[in-house]
Chain A
Amino acid sequence: MIQSQEELEEWYQKDDPWEYEDSFDDIKRRDILLAELPKRNYKNVLDIGCGHGFVTRELPGKKITGLDMSERAVAHANKEAKKNKNLSYVAGDLFKVHELFPEQKFDLIIITGVLYPQYIGNSKILVYHLIDQILEKGGILMSVHISDWYVSHFPYLQLEKLIYDYRSYTHIMEIYQK
């Protein structure tokens, strides 16, 4: 069963429930992501599953938006974001992205730790379709997930795929261009 909003909010009673800030592996995976990001002039960037903004706040681009299901996580992220005018956070459901951003297209979308059965059940193809509606033609999509629970593959050309150790798991990072 997919996790309920209540459960998620419970989890986000802590500011950094997964303890990213002090974890070597999380700093490493953020460094890898930033290093592997194709070099472009990004204008409109979206980070799906941004949590408290651990990766979001480091992303390049003119306008950066973090999206997370948890209102608590977004509230925490917003506290930090005040220092940075380009950065904003939105609480909302991945399945509503086409309604959350009806007039917008992004040229970079990052999706980290979201496409697991506990969050999306059996609906990966709808996720492809919804993200496709907000990704600009020629835009970049980066997907970062733990290999054991990740069964998705976006219908775009894959520019790069990286596999590296992450905590006691293996991370898969895929870079696509639409």
Chain B
Amino acid sequence: MILMYHKIHPDTPTMWWVSVDEFYRQLCELRGKDVVYLDDYDPQDPNQVVITFDGVYQNVVDFALPLLKKFEYPFELFIAGDHVGKDNGFDSVDKRTGEETGEPLSYFADSAGLKKLVEGGGRLQWHSRSHPNLTTLSKSEIQKELKVPQKFKKLDPNGFTWFAYPHGEFNDEVIKETRDNFSGGLSVIQGNDTDSYVLNRLTVVNDTMLSDTTIGVAIPCYNYGSYLVEAIQSVLNQTRPVDKILIIDDGSSDNTQEIARVYVERYKHIEFIRHEKNRGIIPTFNRAIKTLNTDYVCLLGADNRFMSNYIEEATRVLDSDESVGIAYTDFALFGPLASSMFSRFPKDHRGESIDHKIYPVHFPEFTPERAKKIEKANFIHGSSVYRKSIFDAVGGYKESKTAEDHDLFTRIIKTGWAAGKAQNTFLEYRQHSRTQVNAQLISQDELLFYRSQIPPLRQELEQIKSSKFWKLLNLYKNPKTASKMYAARFITKVYHKILNKLKVD
């Protein structure tokens, strides 16, 4: 697969622009693939991907380059020589129809920008001199368009071995000239997926998904309404977004339902299910994972939080190695009982507390030796991200002598799956006693949640109050006061109407 990008920017005025955040998501999705240069590209290999930019615009230097460097992906840059350092004024009108395109003016990178891109892992390639439709040109004109000036060649000694047809258009003459000068040619949709002189590319837009692996998080909740907003928010704030969030209420008697229903209305990818009676951990967990039914699954206790790179780092572990079934992380203990819980962990697992507020617990790396002892010495916590297919294969959570998640992960490891530790991220694990929930005042985030509900509710109330039904009901219930109020309003209205009429006349 060869991807084609044009502009990467915080704003996306037309389909040729991909937002920086969506670009980042797409780069995350490519982690399971093999991202290569065109010179190394084998069209027959379904796992290979090439990232290409056409233009090349300055916004690619400003907004895409830092992220491409972070992921250490190679990428290809197709430049139109005459436009380097200038603007794309020619894009404002569609040449075929003569209509305005609504394409805002933007600038192409200059030589200094191109140099930065090359230093960051980009390879310069040729997109013609002036970006014409080559099929309308004579042989000598085509040759002129395909010739790469020395000043550009100097910018990248490894580059200019590939050509991208302007507007994706080519004919036999164009292909012949390309064969004579380049090791391959790229089109958009006019070519095919096998001939290296007319390879097709995928035009990437904001919504383009580059991986079909889905990620889901289930938040089981039993009377943790006070913390639920924080837990949900921590999933919504992830640097790699999840495809599905399931809130599962195991018969809470608090405000859990109320909060969950508002989130379901606000977000398309949030679902809510509820047990009318408390069924307990195992049935709830099993139902949660089955309902999620995403490729990667995990559970987040309603009183805990994910650090905002949790999903990104955990899925990185699963994406990069198919033999790894479970991705676990370190703990960051917080809350009133954090320090006492911290002291119960083995000394060599304890990190350094931050201002006596957060206590990091570091778990060891997964090794075959530790895997053998997993039954006795657990280091894979219950919010680890794992493959749903394994859950199905081992029969989910079961009654056991140890904790239900410990038991599940032990059975998974025993069937030969490896686990992997995600780096630089934490499960933020709240330490408190259950009674503290009810005793404490409303939590800050809960308060903010209810505040955000005030304006829409007020608006709804206003609508009800101004409805005919409400007025009639009011007249029926309080005939005296209501008729006085409505009569007064009616008279003022009529009075103003007459007054206006007089003014006009």
Write the nearest CB–CB distance from A15 to chain B, whole angstroms: 28
A–B pairs, 25, beta carbons within 8 Å = A38-B355, A95-B62, A96-B62, A120-B10, A121-B9, A121-B20, A122-B22, A125-B67, A125-B239, A126-B66, A126-B67, A128-B239, A129-B67, A151-B237, A153-B233, A155-B312, A157-B358, A157-B360, A157-B426, A159-B358, A160-B357, A161-B444, A163-B447, A163-B448, A170-B451
Interface residues of A in 123-178 (CB under 8 A from B): 123-126, 128-130, 147-148, 151-163, 170, 172, 177
Taking a contact as CB atoms under 8 Å apart, the answer to whether B70 and A129 are in contact is yes
- Decide yes or no: A125 and B448 within 8 Å by CB, A155-B239, A155-B307, A157-B426 being known contacts: no
The reply on B37 being an interface residue by CB < 8 A is no
Interface residues of B in 438-454 (CB under 8 A from A): 444-445, 447-448, 451-452
The reply on A35 being an interface residue by CB < 8 A is no
Taking a contact as CB atoms under 8 Å apart, the answer to whether B444 and A121 are in contact is no
Taking a contact as CB atoms under 8 Å apart, the answer to whether A125 and B234 are in contact is no
Chain B residues with CB under 8 A of A172: 448
The reply on B417 being an interface residue by CB < 8 A is no
Q: Which residue of B lies closest to A153 (CB)?
A: B237
Contact surface of A with B, Cβ cutoff 8 Å = 1-2, 38, 95-96, 98, 120-126, 128-130, 147-148, 151-163, 170, 172, 177
Chain B residues with CB under 8 A of A151: 237
Taking a contact as CB atoms under 8 Å apart, the answer to whether B447 and A1 are in contact is no
Taking a contact as CB atoms under 8 Å apart, the answer to whether B309 and A155 are in contact is yes
Taking a contact as CB atoms under 8 Å apart, the answer to whether B354 and A177 are in contact is yes
Bound CA span A126–B70, Å: 10
Taking a contact as CB atoms under 8 Å apart, the answer to whether B19 and A123 are in contact is yes
Counting chain B CB atoms within 10 Å of each CB, which of A1, A129, A152 scores highest? A129
Taking a contact as CB atoms under 8 Å apart, the answer to whether A153 and B308 are in contact is yes
Taking a contact as CB atoms under 8 Å apart, the answer to whether A122 and B20 are in contact is yes
Contact surface of B with A, Cβ cutoff 8 Å = 9-13, 19-22, 24, 62-63, 66-67, 70, 233-234, 237, 239, 307-309, 312, 332, 354-355, 357-358, 360, 425-426, 428, 444-445, 447-448, 451-452
Taking a contact as CB atoms under 8 Å apart, the answer to whether B21 and A124 are in contact is yes
Q: Which residue of B lies closest to A123 (CB)?
A: B20
Taking a contact as CB atoms under 8 Å apart, the answer to whether B444 and A163 are in contact is yes
Q: Which residue of A lies closest to B27 (CB)?
A: A125
Write the nearest CB–CB distance from B368 to chain A, whole angstroms: 31
Taking a contact as CB atoms under 8 Å apart, the answer to whether A121 and B11 are in contact is yes
Chain A residues with CB under 8 A of B24: 125-126
Bound CA span A148–B453, Å: 12
- Decide yes or no: A2 and B451 within 8 Å by CB, A123-B21, A126-B20 being known contacts: no
Contact pick for B20, options A1, A125, A158, A170, CB 8 Å = A125
Taking a contact as CB atoms under 8 Å apart, the answer to whether A154 and B308 are in contact is yes
Bound CA span A162–B24, Å: 29
A interface SS class: mixed
CB-CB nearest 10 A-B residue pairs: A121-B10, A123-B20, A155-B309, A153-B237, A122-B19, A123-B10, A153-B308, A122-B21, A163-B444, A125-B24
Bound CA span A170–B425, Å: 29
Bound CA span A167–B190, Å: 58
Q: Which residue of B lies closest to A38 (CB)?
A: B355
Chain A residues with CB under 8 A of B309: 155
Bound CA span A91–B491, Å: 60
- Decide yes or no: A129 and B11 within 8 Å by CB, A155-B239, A161-B444 being known contacts: no
Chain A residues with CB under 8 A of B448: 147, 163, 170, 172
Chain B residues with CB under 8 A of A161: 444-445
Chain B residues with CB under 8 A of A2: 10-11
- Decide yes or no: A98 and B425 within 8 Å by CB, A38-B355, A157-B307 being known contacts: no
Chain A residues with CB under 8 A of B332: 157
Chain A residues with CB under 8 A of B237: 151-153
Write the nearest CB–CB distance from B174 to chain A, whole angstroms: 38
Chain B residues with CB under 8 A of A130: 66
Taking a contact as CB atoms under 8 Å apart, the answer to whether B12 and A122 are in contact is yes
Bound CA span A147–B428, Å: 22
- Decide yes or no: A153 and B354 within 8 Å by CB, A123-B19, A129-B67 being known contacts: no
- Decide yes or no: A122 and B234 within 8 Å by CB, A155-B309, A159-B354 being known contacts: no
Chain B residues with CB under 8 A of A1: 11, 13
Q: Which residue of B lies closest to A172 (CB)?
A: B448
Chain A residues with CB under 8 A of B358: 157, 159, 177
Counting chain A CB atoms within 10 Å of each CB, which of B19, B233, B354 scores highest? B354
Bound CA span A69–B76, Å: 32
Bound CA span A129–B12, Å: 21
Write the nearest CB–CB distance from B16 to chain A, whole angstroms: 15
Bound CA span A170–B454, Å: 13
Contact pick for A155, options B9, B308, B444, CB 8 Å = B308
Write the nearest CB–CB distance from B400 to chain A, whole angstroms: 32
- Decide yes or no: A98 and B308 within 8 Å by CB, A122-B12, A123-B10, A159-B354 being known contacts: no
Chain B residues with CB under 8 A of A163: 444-445, 447-448
Bound CA span A95–B12, Å: 17
Bound CA span A107–B309, Å: 21
Chain B residues with CB under 8 A of A147: 448, 452
Chain B residues with CB under 8 A of A156: 307
Write the nearest CB–CB distance from A129 to chain B, whole angstroms: 6
Chain A residues with CB under 8 A of B70: 129
Bound CA span A170–B233, Å: 17
Bound CA span A172–B428, Å: 19
Given contacts A155-B308, A157-B426, A161-B444, 20 further A-B contacts (CB under 8 A): A2-B10, A120-B10, A121-B9, A121-B19, A122-B10, A123-B10, A123-B19, A126-B63, A126-B66, A126-B67, A153-B233, A153-B308, A157-B354, A157-B428, A159-B354, A159-B357, A163-B444, A170-B451, A177-B354, A177-B358
